[in-house]
A = this chain, B = another copy of it.
Amino acid sequence: MQDKKMVEQITSMEVDFAQWYTDVVKKADLIDYTSVKGCMVFKPAGYAIWELIQKQMDERFKATGVENVYLPMFIPESLLEKEKDHVEGFAPEVAWVTQGGLQPLAERMCVRPTSETLFCDFYKNEVHSYRDLPKVYNQWCSVVRWEKETRPFLRSREFLWQEGHTIHATFEEAEERTIQMLNLYADFCEEVLAIPVIKGRKTDKEKFAGAEATYTIEALMHDGKALQSGTSHNFGDGFAKAFDIQFTDKDNKLKYPFQTSWGSTTRLIGAIIMVHGDDNGLVLPPKVAPVQVVIVPIRQQQEGVLDKANEIKEALAKKGMRVKTDDTDKSPGWKFAEAEMRGIPVRVEIGPKDIEAGKAVLARRDTGEKTECAIDDLPETIEKLLDTIQKDMLEKARSRRDSQTYTATTKEEFDRLFAERSGFVKAMWCGDVECENKIKEEMSVTSRCMPFEQEKIADTCVCCGRPAKKLVYWGRAY
């Protein structure tokens, strides 16, 4: 009975998805709440996922020539105010520092909600000639946005992220980098997180404060809601003009350079939970699982069992797998439930009878499937199994996403889909913000993106009936 207790305390996702999510983040030991309202503690199991994301994303960044830097966490108010759209977008949600030590500050400073203004201030010092271009910089840090309602990983007052900021001699080069980084995010989500995404451009209504164009990757969660999972912005020369950054080009003329920024956050952990999780808890893709294999000894007090378990552990670790033996004094059933809750991709069960037969039992977290495997073959078999799980999880997520993606050609159809189902709805749009506003007001649905892969599913806007300009993915979003 007690063995199942851990699992029984989780709400079923069918019953209450929001509560299921909260249960998983707590029971899988990812986070803790704190005395600091709207902020959270990343516990070891949660932070370790972020470390694996960081490491693998950073390697991909560096392979494209990105260099890491670190800029101050404070922005003087006068600096934040230099670019009009930007300050309008962010000023209402920043935290203000007004006193340093025992003295009030002459000018108050906000804790960075994002660092475009600081990078501009920096680039103004650094960029004078075409020889100084491009700069392709990134920083890993935390930022603060004073949100009213918060949810672990999805929306918190402080969150961890990376923000890339680049500066280029031409618009074309900036645009190329903007798209390159969006593609990098998309590949990362699919190949590392096993999360399929739709790549596209945001409408003007939804773009970043100060950007000329914002591109996004949109993922679909288990409950049919969309999650914006990474964005890449082309600023044109708007920030350069606001901050008066100029460079002498090869033709000896003074010109304004072009800038981009792109970011992804600890929201990605929320996406992993809501795309892959199930009623037994977390399901982690092997590439971001802090523990990829757990070995559970059965009758571990019997001589030779723990030794064999540790022998297997060493053999797997030698092949580079992240593996641990659960030799606590809990019952095997409890250990199984706990390993499932924590989303460990593969469980190895080994007891006296197995050892005698030279075998072990392998259990997959994603499918629950159990197979037998000769002990000697474990390293090779599990290594392949982890690859298979990684691929299968992506395909499973893709199938579900596709089955929750609908098309609508009339407003009636569109409204009925969002009334009865949840997921993406593809529909044509005239390009007018009025239609976006109307749809949002009536159905609480927003344009997620204008996908790169455009189709023409109708000639007219799904909302107003005028000639359509773009196919848009619509959805309810986190």
Listed in ascending order, the chain A residues whose CB lies under 8 Å from chain B are 32, 34-36, 39-44, 47-48, 50-51, 67-76, 79, 92-102, 109, 111, 118, 121-122, 125-126, 137, 141-142, 144, 146, 148, 157-158, 160
* Complex: A383 Cα to B278 Cα, angstroms: 50
* Complex: A71 Cα to B102 Cα, angstroms: 25
Contacts of A51 in B (CB 8 A): 68
From residue A474, how far is it (CB to closest CB) to chain B in Å? 29
Q: Is the CB of A100 within 8 A of B34?
A: no
Q: Is the CB of B34 within 8 A of A121?
A: yes
Q: Is the CB of A70 within 8 A of B41?
A: yes
Contacts of A96 in B (CB 8 A): 97-100
Contacts of A97 in B (CB 8 A): 95-98, 111
Q: What is the total number of copies of this protein in its complex?
A: 2
Listed from nearest, the 6 A-B pairs whose CB atoms lie closest are: A39-B72, A44-B67, A101-B146, A42-B70, A96-B99, A100-B146
* Complex: A42 Cα to B69 Cα, angstroms: 5
Residue of B with least CB distance to A99: B96
Contacts of A142 in B (CB 8 A): 70, 73, 141
Supposing A47-B69, A100-B146, A101-B92 touch, asked if A76 and B41 sit within 8 A by C-beta, the answer is: no
Among B70, B71, B99, B157, the residue within 8 A (CB) of A98 is B99
Q: Is the CB of A137 within 8 A of B44?
A: yes
From residue A463, how far is it (CB to closest CB) to chain B in Å? 33
* Complex: A51 Cα to B97 Cα, angstroms: 29
Q: Is the CB of A122 within 8 A of B32?
A: yes
From residue A30, how far is it (CB to closest CB) to chain B in Å? 11
Q: Is the CB of B36 within 8 A of A74?
A: yes
From residue A400, how far is it (CB to closest CB) to chain B in Å? 31
Among B70, B100, B157, the residue within 8 A (CB) of A95 is B100
Contacts of A148 in B (CB 8 A): 101
* Complex: A274 Cα to B109 Cα, angstroms: 33
Among B44, B95, B126, the residue within 8 A (CB) of A68 is B44
* Complex: A74 Cα to B75 Cα, angstroms: 17
Supposing A97-B95, A98-B96, A99-B95 touch, asked if A47 and B70 sit within 8 A by C-beta, the answer is: yes
Contacts of A118 in B (CB 8 A): 34, 36
Contacts of A100 in B (CB 8 A): 95-96, 146, 157
Q: List 7 A-B contacts (CB under 8 A).
A: A39-B72, A39-B74, A47-B68, A74-B95, A96-B98, A96-B100, A101-B146
